Structure 1
């Protein structure tokens, strides 16, 4: 894997993906609070102090530390036209050679659903992960009833690979997940 500067930007036709910064707190807290009922069913339980400055500082510290040791890369997704924060995307569990792989996760605010933003962000981020980060494989998992997330993954070239029983804790319960994978395009195929 190649070196990744902390000021990395991923730019697509309508979006900019940038690492989370201290100054993002107000936008992040407002968007997540406004979209809580939309986001919460698809995520692990939120901590008691979710959306507090303390919660934010914990997250930012963990994200920055992981970025430095190249085990995770967390991005915020903003719309170019007005700089609105629309969601977030992360590559976690980044594994070096011989795996050269990572897990993909993402979330978006309720008001931005159905506009193709997440598909655009995932496509641009995966291209970056293959070309700039040097990954060969990206994995993602969704709970079976998350049809919107399935469309994002299938629309960006991910292939369904199977079902993992009790894969992750989501909304307070161990949940099965449908697993997807995306492999870097190879010129020999």
Structure 2
């Protein structure tokens, strides 16, 4: 049946442009700025992420990431973006649609991170608001899911501001910073309420 077929987008959407932010798929030239931002933000990020590998910030590991990203985009599995501030051109974080499931699901998972010095300024709300129209319109997804640790109140506010609805609790859902953590599950549907205050991607 037609609705069970995989839906491949017509293009790979390397850039999503907004008035204050730009989302762009990572390239090799981003390495130095990415590594510097991640290193400076380590204490801010590690409580919310899987344990970093010893060589996590190395150029070799970054190149491996880029190869994996390219393969995933080509296979319509994942769409990773770095977030850039238009006013300064600075790399400030990242946002990814991953685990894309086609067929009867048409679903993806949302993940993101923000550099420590850029947190709390509303940038992630804007970035999530930009990626949603691309996900629902260009990629033709029906549902975007996100999982948030119970103590991550800032991320809960981001999701709720952008129209996500809390659906339940998943016990020991992900191993974060070396520990299995419970997570709250959120989702937003293509025909759900419009996000509040989001940017429209172009």
- Aligned CA RMSD, in angstroms, stands at 1.3
* Partner Cα distance (1:181, 1:146) in 2: 16
**Structure 1: runs of 5+ lacking an equivalent:** none
Alignment of 1:55 onto 2:55: no
Secondary structure of 1:161 counterpart? strand
TM-score, reference length from structure 1: 0.95
Distance apart, 1:13 and its partner CA? 2.1
Distance apart, 1:172 and its partner CA? 0.5
Q: Deviations over 1:111-168 (max 9, x none)?
A: 1111110000001101110011000000000100001000100010000000001111
Note the 1:172-187 alignment, pairs <5 A.
172-185=178-191
* Partner Cα distance (2:33, 2:191) in 1: 36
Q: Residue in 2 aligned with 1:27?
A: 33
**Structure 2: runs of 5+ lacking an equivalent:** 1-6, 194-202
Note the 1:156-167 alignment, pairs <5 A.
156-167=162-173
Alignment of 1:149 onto 2:155: yes
* Partner Cα distance (2:103, 2:133) in 1: 18
From 115, 119, 124, the equivalent of 1:109 is: 115
Q: 1:7 to 1:102 in 2, by over 3 A?
A: closer
TM-score, reference length from structure 2: 0.89
Distance apart, 1:4 and its partner CA? 5.0
Alignment of 1:5 onto 2:11: yes
* Partner Cα distance (1:171, 1:60) in 2: 23
